[in-house]
A and B are shown apart, each in its own frame.
Chain A
Amino acid sequence: MSAEVVAELDDLKVWFPVAGGAVRAVDGVSLRIHPGETLGLVGESGSGKSTTGLALLRLVDPTTGRVRVAGQDVTGWSRRRLRGVRRKVAMVFQDPQASLDPRHTVAASVAEPLVVHRLGGDADARRRRVAELLDLVGLRPELGGRHPHELSGGQRQRVGIARALAGEPDLIVLDEPIASLDLSVQAQIMNLLRRLQRELGLTYLFISHDLAAVEHMSDRVAVMYLGRIVETGSPAQLWQQPAHPYTAALLSAIPEADPAVERHRRRIILAGDIPSPVDPPSGCRFRTRCPSARPDCADTDPGLDPVTGDHRAACLYAGEAVREMRATPTP
């Protein structure tokens, strides 16, 4: 089992204590990431998708639940003990400017995993390896002597990716890696990530709120809402036949490029804001905003049940609710 799973979260909960309760940032998430795949994790801000990624790297501590990485249960491990495992899972951060130490050169940042894990041999060999990594992400090795503020946003993110690759990790957590980049640069970085995945056999957890990017990048998608996964499946399954009303609403928000189609596009407008994660609704968490909520949605907390094959949704009326929503004309 551990052979086909790179990383696994089992009923993960991350609660942050606040006055009068706890923010349930992640509230019962289970997922498995298989070798060579890209699992897209999508949701609006506050849905807990970034916290899920951080918990996978043990950068935040789980309140309950288990975290397994590279076949080992690392849940209770101390920071010191985790250091060996850190090589196996790397992270690319949303803001490349903030994630690079302003006082370090590009080469020093990329070399840090090599130094920390004593890889790449002596200083000379390490320099060659850094040049190789920079080349791999499409940067001229001469840029190694520069500082982050002397680079463009896209170049900085390439440095962040080179650093993530340095330790030859099994899994790279990509936390909104394109969100802070210009549109034209976003495409370049996504293509770079896909090429690297092909060439190096990498596994990605791709965290994003950008639905088009997630569809483009992912083999499987998990949709998060208020600390829970509400639907998983292939992009084709989700985009063509969403079974959860929330997924359907998210997807209906994507504009169409063709004006003729766009004019007749049926949008599902959700009422209100995402509820407070301190005090989530009883039963189904989405019921307060769901256009087809029924009385028993307040009593039963739906599990992530199969719709067809590996397409799963956490909705008591999976499929039915979406058909009903689409039948109702938009106001």
Chain B
Amino acid sequence: MSAARDSQARRALSALRHDPPAVAGAVVLLALVVVGTAGRWLAPAGVNDVDVDQMLHPPSWAHPFGTDELGRDVLSRVLVAARVSLEVGVVSVGIALLVGAGIGLVAGYYRGWVDNVLMRGMDVLFAFPVLLLAVAIVAVLGPGLLTAMIAIGVVYTPIFARVTRAGVLSVREQVFVRAAVSIGASDLRIIRRHVLPNIAAPLIVQTSLSLAFAILSEAALSFLGLGIQPPAPAWGRMLFDGRGFVTEAWWLGFFPGAAIFLTVLAFNLVGDALRDVLDPRQLTLGEASRSTT
């Protein structure tokens, strides 16, 4: 079991190494994690150090990303905000993965009316535009970091439910599942030992892609003033605050925007590469060629 995972992980890693965009994405993500955990100490200035003599200064040696309308160092704020973006991404996608995969597993494995009720519920969520639904949830729960995480988690739950259910539907028809039933294995055992390991690949891919969208959604919510509240820094919020100065101080919007762009791009690159490597069909092809050689 663990050997299977190891060998598959090794194969996936070695394939990823020969994929330059994926390597670039991974490097950016690694840097992001470092900045996210250590940003507070990397930042040259405090995020809320107001300096009225330094208002709206363009990028310089003292302030590489310039200063904002209150004289705060934009570089420091961008670095510290990385933590918020990562937190929101991980927590909200974690919620979506747990709830969505749970719903998809139950719906796909038991089918019948349970499937209908659960998946129609997911369809209703899916029918709303992502941002509209997130805004509605935040409006109900009140703005803030935690509610933004919950809202984004709820918004991405249907995708995970669908991906999981599709995987479960195909795996549960496999002969080895029928063999497990004939042995007398319980549903819980079949789901844990046979179904989940065989649908892990698409879930991993979906997770990495959703992380990108979740960070984007947080930026959008913060931009609308519904995410993290000032004066705490968040990329989306900084973009929002910078829009009033777009003609005289481009750096206010440019650097947080670039940070969002790079992060989303990195997650997408890694996610696409993972999809190529972990695609079940490619896996079978790889295994087939291995067994014939």
Contacts from A to B (Cβ < 8 Å): 57, 59, 79-80, 82-87, 89-91, 93, 95, 98-105, 108, 112-113, 116-117, 145, 147, 149-151, 163, 167
**Distance A79 CA – B184 CA, assembled complex (angstroms):** 8
Known contacts A112-B185, A113-B184: A149-B290 contact under CB 8 Å: yes
CB distance from B273 to the nearest CB of A (A): 22
**B60 interfacial by beta-carbon distance below 8 Å:** no
**Distance A145 CA – B3 CA, assembled complex (angstroms):** 8
Contacts from B to A (Cβ < 8 Å): 1, 3-5, 174-176, 178-187, 189, 193-194, 197-198, 287-288, 290-291
**Distance A292 CA – B179 CA, assembled complex (angstroms):** 43
Residues of chain B contacted by A145 (CB below 8 angstroms): 3
Q: A99-B178, A116-B185 are in contact. List 16 more A-B contacts (CB 8 A).
A: A57-B182, A59-B181, A85-B184, A90-B182, A95-B175, A98-B176, A100-B179, A101-B193, A101-B197, A101-B198, A102-B198, A103-B1, A105-B3, A112-B180, A112-B185, A116-B183
**Distance A89 CA – B182 CA, assembled complex (angstroms):** 8
CB distance from A30 to the nearest CB of B (A): 23
* Beta-carbon contact of B198 and A103 below 8 Å: yes
Listed by A's residue number, 28 A-B pairs whose Cβ atoms lie within 8 Å are A57-B182, A79-B181, A80-B186, A86-B183, A86-B184, A91-B182, A93-B175, A98-B175, A98-B176, A99-B176, A100-B176, A101-B197, A101-B198, A103-B197, A103-B198, A104-B4, A104-B193, A105-B4, A112-B185, A113-B183, A116-B184, A116-B186, A117-B184, A145-B3, A149-B287, A149-B290, A151-B291, A163-B179
Interface Cβ pair total, 8 Å cutoff: 79
Which among B4, B179, B186, B290 is the interface contact of A93 at CB below 8 angstroms? B179
Residues of chain B contacted by A167 (CB below 8 angstroms): 183
CB distance from B50 to the nearest CB of A (A): 57
Residues of chain A contacted by B185 (CB below 8 angstroms): 112, 116
Residues of chain A contacted by B189 (CB below 8 angstroms): 116
Residues of chain A contacted by B175 (CB below 8 angstroms): 93, 95, 98-99
CB distance from A204 to the nearest CB of B (A): 15
Residues of chain A contacted by B288 (CB below 8 angstroms): 149
CB distance from A127 to the nearest CB of B (A): 14
- For A89, the closest partner residue in chain B by CB is B182
**Distance A150 CA – B289 CA, assembled complex (angstroms):** 10
* Beta-carbon contact of B183 and A112 below 8 Å: yes
Known contacts A57-B182, A87-B184: A102-B287 contact under CB 8 Å: yes
**Distance A112 CA – B186 CA, assembled complex (angstroms):** 12
- For B187, the closest partner residue in chain A by CB is A79
* Beta-carbon contact of B182 and A108 below 8 Å: no
**Distance A95 CA – B193 CA, assembled complex (angstroms):** 21
**Distance A280 CA – B101 CA, assembled complex (angstroms):** 45
Residues of chain B contacted by A150 (CB below 8 angstroms): 290-291
**Distance A286 CA – B1 CA, assembled complex (angstroms):** 51
* Beta-carbon contact of A91 and B179 below 8 Å: yes
* Beta-carbon contact of A101 and B176 below 8 Å: yes
- For B7, the closest partner residue in chain A by CB is A147
Known contacts A59-B178, A99-B176, A101-B198: A84-B184 contact under CB 8 Å: yes
Residues of chain A contacted by B186 (CB below 8 angstroms): 80, 83, 116
- For B180, the closest partner residue in chain A by CB is A112
- For B174, the closest partner residue in chain A by CB is A98
**Distance A80 CA – B287 CA, assembled complex (angstroms):** 35
**Distance A302 CA – B92 CA, assembled complex (angstroms):** 68
Residues of chain B contacted by A113 (CB below 8 angstroms): 183-184
* Beta-carbon contact of A149 and B291 below 8 Å: yes
